[in-house]
Chain A
């Protein structure tokens, strides 16, 4: 058994709690930190601590922000009549990177999953309905993942929004750009055919 001095062991064990960091990587990072100038480690510590103290979730859309409402919810240039419903704030960043969407967002902070004990009250569903009632919303785009739970959540919302007098759409499931048809699995291909469009 290798034996590390206590502070080193502690930093290794803390680093290991991060996703994709195994014992070997944690050890390498710890030794790297040890060799870093103190001014650099101080900056790192400060940045990590600021993430927690300065950032929070936007009260309206659930985005990660340093002020609430966030820059998207307060941007007058955006289409204020469309809400894109997503599972987590990470998905917002992914959609923003496309620069194709100019509407608002609403993060549910999860998906329906009885096996994980997650019901509608554990998600930001009531706030969504409140927004639809109070803001002048014309279209809701359901952009939950194409997993079983993501699908169930989209179906549940569809049913509850049926009579709200708005357009409900679901993002399409399809072939990745640059995807060679020959190498795409038949399930994805079948779904893509199902969702084909007139050109």
Chain B
């Protein structure tokens, strides 16, 4: 599927804008603060119902306005100019979202209002790469968890459902812990919330173990391509429950329940839940050879800037491959300001790969010259003050 048309109304600095995009590479050029990233943000929002840079949907509403509206129209991805022109006349799918200030988001699929987010989300998949993607390597566990959660949610509506249930049960349990501490609520009440955390939590752990194992294979392959086999990357799931990634569901059930039990007093004192998949992480270890010795070091603290950037890119490309494998469709690729991030060799590798996959790609840059003819064809869009030419 290919994004054929994007409509933005009152979205950040866009008032009312309609853009017709092309297959292949769409290069979005403009000075700073003109609205380049905002275009990618809009596409990302249509896929995930979230912004990549803020939790607050109301921030996306144009100043002094009370709502925003986005629409994406998709056509089949067909190569060949003639077939494409024919197909372009027919929309395969339209995805719409609107958000009112202090109100609710409303989602439409092919013109019909969708009550459940899980029935709207992930109609098309995106991979977003920007300088901030470096947080996957350098950032806190929460950054990596968010990446994994969004990735699996794109593949499985059931995962999103378990995640939402888990997070809500966790909130309730944490509140109960505080009430036990301060208001003498009964400790027994924790049992019910523990049961819920265990049921949904184990579904999360199992899905993460499975997907991270797949992601590891893809990421390692891409990392090897990028570094020419001189370094080896290892990615390991670190469930807070020890060995939970390998255990059977029934054992895990027991283990999680016992862990919650034994941390109860500690949890009550702190007023928050200290064990469970909401504390999970994955570890990136780099194996490098130097002066005949093999070093295994955590990329987060020991990797050089360049090594960390390569790993971040490899993870994103791993995500791309994984989404392709799981959904049998090439995701839309969003590259924000990557030329400042990647050297020539890595850029060339990246674009060669995207061309081979025939991925519809959106690239932002302040300078059109970064795109050299040897990188292939591209269609240029110029952004100025929330208007696109």
Mark A residues whose CB is within 8 Å of B.
112-115, 119-120, 148-149, 151-153, 155-156, 159, 185-187, 190
- Can you name 9 A-B residue pairings with CB atoms under 8 Å? A114-B179, A119-B179, A152-B172, A152-B193, A155-B196, A159-B188, A185-B118, A187-B118, A190-B158
Does B189 sit at the interface, judged by CB under 8 A? yes
A152 touches B196 (CB 8 A): yes
Also in contact, A115 and B185, with CB within 8 A (given A148-B168, A156-B192): no
Q: Is the CB of A114 within 8 A of B175?
A: yes
Inter-chain contact B169/A148, CB cutoff 8 Å? yes
**Inter-chain contact A185/B116, CB cutoff 8 Å:** yes
How far in angstroms is the closest Cβ of chain A from B30? 41
- Known contacts A148-B165, A186-B158, A187-B118; is-contact A115 B192 (Cβ 8 Å): no
Mostly, the B contact residues are: helix
List which B314-368 residues lie within 8 A (CB) of chain A.
none
What are the residues of chain B within 8 A of A153 when measuring CB–CB? 192
A119 neighbours in B (Cβ, 8 Å): 179, 185-186, 189
Q: Verify if B171 is at the interface (C-beta below 8 Å from A).
A: yes
What B residues does A159 contact at CB under 8 A? 188, 191-192
A113-B196 contact in complex given A120-B186, A186-B157, C-beta closer than 8 Å: no
Chain B proximity of A108: nearest CB distance (Å)? 14
Which residues in A have their C-beta under 8 angstroms from that of B191? 155-156, 159
Q: Give the residues from 250 to 268 in chain B that come closer than 8 angstroms, CB to CB, to chain A.
A: none
Provide the B178-197 mask, 1 if CB < 8 A to any CB of A, else 0. Answer: 01000001101101110110
| Chain A residues whose C-beta falls within 8 Å of the C-beta of B175 in the assembled complex | 114-115
B264 → chain A closest CB, angstroms: 15
Is B176 part of the binding interface, using a Cβ–Cβ cutoff of 8 Å?
Answer: yes
Number of interface residues of B (CB under 8 A): 25
Nearest 5 pairs of A and B residues by beta carbon = A114-B175, A155-B192, A114-B176, A156-B192, A152-B192
Give A149 to B171 CA distance when docked, in angstroms: 12
Once the chains bind, are A152 and B119 in contact (CB under 8 Å)?
no
Asked if A187 and B161 sit within 8 Å, CB to CB, the answer is yes
Q: Besides the contacts A148-B165, A152-B172, what 15 more A-B pairs have beta carbons closer than 8 Å? A: A112-B189, A112-B192, A115-B172, A119-B185, A119-B186, A148-B168, A148-B172, A152-B192, A153-B192, A155-B196, A156-B192, A185-B118, A185-B157, A187-B158, A190-B158
Which chain A residue shows the least CB distance to B167? Answer: A148
- CB-based nearest B residue for A149: B172
CB distance from B155 to the nearest CB of A (A): 11
Shortest CB–CB separation between residue A6 and chain B, in angstroms? Answer: 29
**What are the interface flags for B141-183 relative to A under an 8 Å C-beta threshold, 1 for contact and 0 otherwise?**
0000000000000001110010001001101110110010000
Nearest-CB distance from B49 to chain A (Å)? 16
Q: In the complex the two chains form, what is the Cα distance from A15 to B171 in whole Å?
A: 35
Q: Are A187 and B169 in contact (CB under 8 A)?
A: no
Q: In the bound complex, how far is the Cα of B175 from the Cα of A112, in angstroms?
A: 12
CA distance A120 to B190 in the complex (A): 12
**CA A156 – CA B191 in complex, angstroms?**
7
Report the nearest B residue to A151, measured CB to CB. Answer: B196
- Please pick, from A148, A156, A187, the residue contacting B189 in the complex, using a CB distance under 8 A: A156
Tell me whether B171 and A115 are in contact (CB under 8 A). yes
The smallest C-beta distance from A48 to any residue of chain B, in angstroms, reads: 31
Contacts of B168 in A (CB 8 A): 148
Given contacts A112-B192, A149-B172, A152-B169, contact A187 B185 (CB under 8 A): no
Contacts of A115 in B (CB 8 A): 171-172, 175
Are B119 and A185 touching (Cβ within 8 A)?
Answer: yes
Shortest beta-carbon distance, B201 to chain A, in Å?
Answer: 13
Residues of A within 8 A of B169 (CB): 148, 152
Of B118, B172, B185, B188, the residue contacting A113 (CB under 8 A) is B172
Tell me, in angstroms, the Cα distance from A35 to B260 when the chains sit together.
64
- How far is it, in angstroms, between the C-alpha of A199 and the C-alpha of B118 when the chains are bound? 32
Across-interface contacts of A190 in B (CB, < 8 A): 158
Cα separation A120 to B189 with both chains bound (whole Å): 9
Residues of B contacting A120 with CB < 8 Å? 186, 189
Binary flags per residue of B56-74, CB closer than 8 Å to A gives 1, else 0:
0000000000000000000
User: Measured between C-beta atoms, what is the minimum distance from B323 to chain A in Å?
Assistant: 18
In the assembled complex, which residues on chain B have CB atoms less than 8 Å from the CB atom of A186? 156-158
Please indicate the chain A residues that have their CB under 8 angstroms from the CB of B171 in the complex.
115
A191 to chain B, nearest CB (A): 10
Q: Judge whether B189 and A155 touch: CB under 8 Å.
A: no
Contacts of A156 in B (CB 8 A): 189, 191-192
Find chain A residues with CB under 8 A from B173 CB.
Answer: 114
Closest approach, in angstroms, between the C-beta of B195 and any C-beta of chain A? 5
Given contacts A115-B172, A148-B172, contact A187 B196 (CB under 8 A): no
Task: Please name the residue on chain A nearest to B176 by beta carbon.
Answer: A114
CA A159 – CA B189 in complex, angstroms? 10
* Chain A positions within 8 Å of B192 at CB level: 112, 151-153, 155-156, 159
